[in-house]
């Protein structure tokens, strides 16, 4: 089976927030192993941190923060956003208006625009995800989506990659940038420095570093003239319309 090493996509945090926790070994982990150990890693991190929300973090009063969430120095969470289910926001992360972040890891200086929903997703340092982006983590082909059973599998150049779990959204590399109205996952590994144009839907595959992903846009449509009117020609000043 192919391997997906997190260090080929993500840079380990350097602010010191996660020093002494399993997250400091993030770059060495293999994706499927990490997904299996993620909950245990997070519990260990919570037990070792002096404060799970750094004093310099800025949380808007309307934001909802789960009791098991870790938020780093100078991170910002704006109006009406929800961060929950063991998510990690590293130093200088910005989560915009009306976002939902569930069981996700956001690397240092990552930016989420407004109305973004991500689930079971790892986002690299300096990534910038624009408005109205969704990362799904459950296959619609599971018989019951509230209790998913279908394992998430990615297509890689050297074969199929089995994630070992029915819940995985995406691995989004450092410095990835996206347009708006994008649907990703379940099961996606985006290499570093990728660009995704607006309107893209993408899942179940690996994408190499520096790729540009586009979809048909309005600028690509064909324009033609309507046929000439075949009735009688209106007389100027008449009531014909």
Residue that is written with structure tokens 């009735």 in the block: 231
**Distance in angstroms (rounded) separating the CA atoms of residues 143 and 115:** 28
Return the domain boundaries, the chain: 6-215
From first to last of its 241 residues, what are the pLDDT tens digits of the chain? Answer: 899 999 999 999 998 889 999 999 999 999 999 999 999 999 999 999 988 999 999 999 999 999 999 999 999 999 999 999 999 999 999 999 999 999 999 999 999 999 999 999 999 999 999 999 999 999 888 888 788 889 999 999 999 999 999 999 999 999 999 999 999 999 999 999 999 999 999 999 999 999 999 987 655 555 566 676 555 554 444 444 3
* Residue-by-residue DSSP string for 181-212: SEEE-SSEEEPTT-EE-TT-EE-SEEE-TT-E
Q: Are strands 82-84 and 64-65 parallel, antiparallel or unpaired?
A: parallel
SS3 label, residue 84 = strand
Q: What is the pTM of this model?
A: 0.88
What fold characterizes domain 6-215?
UDP N-Acetylglucosamine Acyltransferase; domain 1 (2.160.10)
**Distance in angstroms (rounded) separating the CA atoms of residues 63 and 80:** 5
């Amino acid at each position: 089976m192919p391997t997906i090493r997190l260090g080929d996509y993500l840079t380990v945090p350097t602010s010191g927030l996660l020093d002494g926790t399993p997250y400091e070994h993030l770059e060495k982990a293999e994706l499927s192993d990490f997904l299996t150990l993620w909950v245990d890693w997070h519990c260990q991190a919570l037990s070792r941190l002096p404060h799970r929300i750094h004093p310099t973090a800025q949380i808007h009063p309307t934001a909802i923060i789960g009791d098991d969430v870790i938020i780093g120095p100078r991170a910002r969470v704006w109006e009406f956003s929800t961060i929950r289910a063991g998510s990690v926001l590293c130093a200088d992360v910005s989560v915009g208006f009306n976002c939902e972040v569930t069981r996700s890891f956001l690397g240092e200086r990552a930016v989420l625009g407004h109305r973004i929903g991500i689930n079971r997703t790892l986002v690299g340092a300096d990534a910038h995800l624009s408005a109205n982006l969704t990362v799904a983590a459950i296959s619609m082909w599971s018989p019951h989506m509230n209790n998913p059973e279908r394992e998430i599998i990615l297509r890689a150049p050297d074969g199929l990659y089995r994630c070992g779990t029915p819940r995985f959204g995406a691995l989004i590399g450092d410095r990835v940038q996206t347009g708006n109205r994008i649907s990703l996952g379940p099961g996606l590994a985006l290499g570093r420095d990728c660009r995704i144009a607006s309107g893209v839907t993408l899942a179940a595959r690996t994408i190499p570093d520096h790729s540009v992903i586009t979809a048909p846009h309005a600028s690509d449509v064909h324009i033609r003239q309507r046929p000439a009117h075949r009735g009688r020609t209106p007389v100027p000043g008449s009531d014909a319309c």
